[in-house]
């Protein structure tokens, strides 16, 4: 189906160009060397035109119509729009459309800096896209060009590093508070106010950082769906929540998830997504090391914990790891690499079948690993799971409270077992107490009277009564086991 470009953009529509921050000569070289093979000549030309349309000294924005862009680039409107969208997709351009009461459109173009070579080659998708375009020899030349072998060697040989940078106040000690004071209503304050109002600064930021990894994009996922899938059912409601949860658990981006959603066998006759089939597919793909993943930079603690070392419940490292890491990433950090299918299924079931929050699942995994010698026995985990679900544990803080209370109870039980036991005088055989018949209270009283040598009531002793004497002798024999 032919695209109706005139419904999206007109030559008369005006645009405004701004820079996120100043771009240097070296960064423009990154665009030429790394981005050009991917985005093509037309997008590269448009990027250069937009960048150099902004005043380099002040960063003031440039204003024109899209017709001027068509004339400058010799591109038709549809090709110009395609070139612009490639810049948007690769992270070099951000577009906002403004509209007034007369329904006139005004486009706001924010030009972004490129990634550094280290960030570019560290991105799995961009690195492979470049390799597919320029092949091995040119790719190797670029890696060598942007490599820093000296710094790598220094890091290996000179491991002790001390920061010697001077602080601002160490150098400018003679600076007085009076030099920085601007009195209210003074001529200096009026001058500064007038300057801010008459000459507002451009909105460039020196601290702007280029980014590639974007949140899960519905518009991108829609492009990967096969014909037997209904986008409204697959990418809406509870199904979309399920996809977000999948991406967090496996650390995938829109591109990686889109590759899995291509398969037409994942969909039911009503064109909705079969979540159980997709779950089993991802478990198998991970086990076979065929899953496209894009894990973010390391979070949840640096070297505070890892293989053979777990954070203490209630510590900052424990809480941070539970909140920031996905259950799968947590297990990978614990074992120091890819996890087994058994470990994966244990964590996956807690999240997708049992419906537990990922941060609570992380707390449960930590607790089980610490309690069961770095193993995840199914019966033990299910016992804790049922207990926590019954108590409505929904946050890592609540889970930590349960873990600490359980540890206190276990400590008290051990101390109680070790405490010396009082002698109750009970008869024991083979370490077990033997049940004994209890004498009537009147008999016990008379026995005490006989032992003390005092006469019983009415001057009568137990020995004087044949029936009582016989009963007492029978009980004594039972006590001796005769």
Q: What is the pLDDT of residues 127-186, one digit of tens each?
A: 888 888 888 888 888 888 888 878 778 888 888 888 777 776 667 666 666 666 777 888
Measuring CA to CA, how many Å separate 135 from each of 14, 140, 141? Answer: 40, 9, 11
Average of per-residue pLDDT across 41-56: 90
| Per-residue pLDDT at 280 exceeds 90 | yes
pLDDT attached to residue 461: 58
Domain ranges within the chain, ordered by starting residue: 5-114, 124-157, 218-287, 316-418, 433-480
Average of per-residue pLDDT across 456-477: 63
Please, which pLDDT band fits residue 1 given cuts at 50, 70 and 90?
very low
Q: What is the pLDDT of residues 69-117, one digit of tens each?
A: 999 999 999 999 999 999 998 999 999 988 887 778 889 999 999 998 8
| Per-residue pLDDT at 413 exceeds 50 | yes
Q: How far apart are CA 194 and CA 342, in angstroms?
A: 69
Average of per-residue pLDDT across 293-306: 63
Alpha helices in 74-207 (DSSP H): 77-90, 117-122, 124-145, 149-157, 168-171, 187-198
Helix (H, G, I), strand (E, B) or coil at 374: coil
DSSP string, 215-245: ---HHHHHHH--TT--HHHHTSHHHHHHHHH
| Per-residue pLDDT at 293 exceeds 90 | no
Please, which pLDDT band fits residue 3 given cuts at 50, 70 and 90?
low
Average of per-residue pLDDT across 182-195: 77
Candidates 332, 404, 304; CA nearest to 396 is: 404
Q: How far apart are CA 181 and CA 184, in angstroms?
A: 9
* Multiple choice CATH, 5-114, 3.90.550, 1.10.10, 2.20.25, 3.30.70: 1.10.10
Ramachandran region of residue 338, left (φ > 0), alpha (ψ -120 to 50) or beta? beta
Q: How far apart are CA 76 and CA 87, in angstroms?
A: 17
Look up tokens 């899953």; give the residue.
Answer: 291
Print the SS3 string covering 188-208: HHHHHHHHHHHCCCCCCCCCC
With contact defined as beta carbons under 8 Å apart, do 201 and 16 qualify?
A: no
Per the document, the length of the chain is 482
């Amino acid at each position: 189906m032919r695209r109706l470009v005139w419904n999206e953009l007109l030559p008369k529509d005006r645009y405004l160009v701004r820079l996120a921050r100043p771009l240097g000569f070296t960064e423009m070289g990154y665009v030429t060397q790394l981005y050009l093979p991917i985005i093509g000549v037309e997008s590269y030309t448009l990027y250069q035109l937009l960048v150099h349309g902004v005043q380099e000294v002040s960063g003031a924005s440039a204003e024109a119509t899209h017709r001027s862009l068509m004339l400058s680039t010799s591109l038709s409107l549809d090709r110009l729009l395609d070139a612009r969208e490639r810049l948007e997709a690769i992270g070099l351009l951000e577009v906002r459309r403004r509209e007034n009461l007369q329904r006139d459109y005004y486009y706001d173009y924010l030009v972004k800096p490129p990634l550094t070579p280290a960030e570019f080659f560290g991105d799995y998708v961009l690195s492979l896209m470049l390799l597919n375009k320029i092949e091995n020899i040119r790719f190797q030349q670029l890696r060598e060009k942007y490599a820093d072998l000296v710094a790598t060697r220094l890091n290996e040989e000179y491991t002790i590093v001390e920061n010697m940078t001077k602080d601002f106040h160490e150098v400018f000690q003679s600076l007085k508070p009076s030099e920085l004071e601007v009195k209210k209503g003074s001529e200096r304050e009026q001058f500064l106010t007038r300057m801010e109002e008459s000459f507002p600064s451009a909105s460039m930021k020196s601290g702007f950082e280029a980014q590639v990894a974007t949140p899960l994009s519905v518009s991108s996922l829609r492009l990967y769906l096969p014909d037997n899938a209904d986008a409204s059912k697959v990418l809406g409601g509870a199904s979309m929540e399920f996809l977000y949860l999948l991406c967090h658990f496996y650390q995938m981006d829109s591109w990686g998830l889109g590759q899995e959603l291509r398969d037409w066998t994942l969909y039911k006759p009503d064109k909705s997504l079969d979540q159980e089939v997709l779950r089993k597919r991802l478990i198998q793909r991970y086990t076979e090391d065929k899953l496209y993943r894009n894990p973010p930079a390391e979070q949840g603690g640096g070297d505070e914990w890892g293989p053979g070392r777990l954070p203490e419940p209630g510590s900052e490292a424990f809480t941070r790891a539970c909140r920031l890491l996905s259950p799968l990433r947590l297990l990978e950090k614990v074992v120091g690499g890819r996890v087994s299918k058994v470990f994966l299924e244990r964590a996956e079931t807690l999240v997708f079948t049992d419906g537990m929050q990922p941060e609570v699942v992380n707390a449960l995994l930590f607790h089980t690993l610490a309690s069961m010698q770095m193993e995840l026995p199914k019966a033990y985990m299910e016992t804790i799971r049922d207990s926590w679900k019954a108590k409505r544990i929904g946050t890592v803080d609540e889970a930590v409270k349960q873990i600490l209370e359980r540890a206190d109870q276990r400590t008290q039980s051990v101390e109680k077992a070790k405490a010396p036991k009082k002698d109750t005088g009970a008869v024991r055989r083979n370490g077990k107490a033997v049940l004994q018949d209890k004498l009537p209270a009147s008999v016990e009283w008379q026995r005490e009277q006989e032992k003390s040598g005092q006469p019983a009531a009415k001057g009568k002793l137990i020995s004087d009564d044949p029936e009582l004497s016989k009963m007492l002798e029978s009980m004594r024999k039972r006590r001796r086991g005769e």
